[in-house]
Amino acid sequence: GDSVTQMEGPVTLSEEAFLTINCTYTATGYPSLFWYVQYPGEGLQLLLKATKADDKGSNKGFEATYRKETTSFHLEKGSVQVSDSAVYFCALDEIRDNRLAFGKGNQVVVIP
Amino acid sequence: ETGVTQSPTHLIKTRGQQVTLRCSSQSGHNTVSWYQQALGQGPQFIFQYYREEENGRGNFPPRFSGLQFPNYSSELNVNALELDDSALYLCASSSGQANTEAFFGQGTRLTVV
């Protein structure tokens, strides 16, 4: 079935550093891809999405490009802030009806 | 427009008991999906309701059941609670149109002791 794999372990980095979180997926068709963010004590918020190959989703300085050839949707941000500390989840929607399959998530901690 | 609200925010139940969790969908949304998020894990899809009918189910046993009401609010019921049911339960509402955003509530933290 459909699945999403995120890199293992939390990510700790200094303010203004470059952030990359890897995400690869397995799907039989052409899913929509998402990054969600979960701040402490809150629900999930959509960060960005891409619905077809080579699309780039972007929001709040974060970017991710839908790479069909490598089945990847890596999240990047050029200069992180302390306020970016949260858990980030990669997700896919195979039939585009909001039945989402999520990765395990990555805790990001940004140190001043 | 109002957001997605879930109740209660926290509850503690004993193994073997039954629990009902509630979700009010965002105004204008007719689809509600439920997810289970165990500690340190990503959310797992339980099932989805569209216009009061179940519209897809994940790999969860029948003791997980649900309802959707005419106003599109929804309930998640879990019978015969097990310790492993301890998790954050999230609901998400959407418009039912393809490629539209799902909006999540803040979740209900269930602890089974």
Which tens digit of pLDDT belongs to each residue from A59-85? 999 999 999 999 999 999 999 999 999
Instruction: Say whether pLDDT at A30 is over 90.
Output: no
pLDDT at B20 over 90: yes
Q: How far apart are CA B24 and CA B32, in angstroms?
A: 9
Helix (H) or strand (E) holding B107: none
Q: How far is A6 from chain B (nearest CA, A)?
A: 10
Cα nearest neighbour of B32 on chain A: A98
pLDDT over threshold 80, residue B1: no
Measure CB to CB from residue A43 to each of B33, B94, B104 and give the nearest one: B104
The residue among B47, B41, B55 whose CA lies nearest residue B91 is: B47
Q: Nearest residue of A to residue B42 by CA position?
A: A104
CA-nearest of A24, A34, A45 to A87 is A45
pLDDT surpassing 80 at residue B112: yes
Which among B9, B5, B20, B26 has a CA at the least distance from the CA of B71? Answer: B26
Instruction: Determine the distance in angstroms separating the CA of B82 from the nearest CA of chain A, rounded to an integer.
Output: 22
The per-residue pLDDT of chain A, averaged, comes to: 94
pLDDT digits (tens, 9 = 90+) for B33-47: 999 999 989 999 999
Residue type present at position B48: Q
The Cα B10–Cα A67 span in angstroms is: 40
Distance CA B45, CA B25 (A): 17
Q: Are A100 and B43 in contact (CB under 8 A)?
A: yes
Could you give the CA distance from residue B21 to residue A66 in angstroms, rounded to a whole number?
36
Place B99 in a pLDDT band, splitting at 50, 70 and 90.
confident
Which residues of B lie closer than 8 Å to A, measured between beta carbons? Answer: 4, 31, 33, 35, 40-45, 48, 55-56, 90, 92, 94, 96, 98-102, 104-107
pLDDT above 80 (res B2): no
The two tokens of residue B69 are 């009401």
**Residue A17 pLDDT level (bands cut at 50, 70, 90):** very high
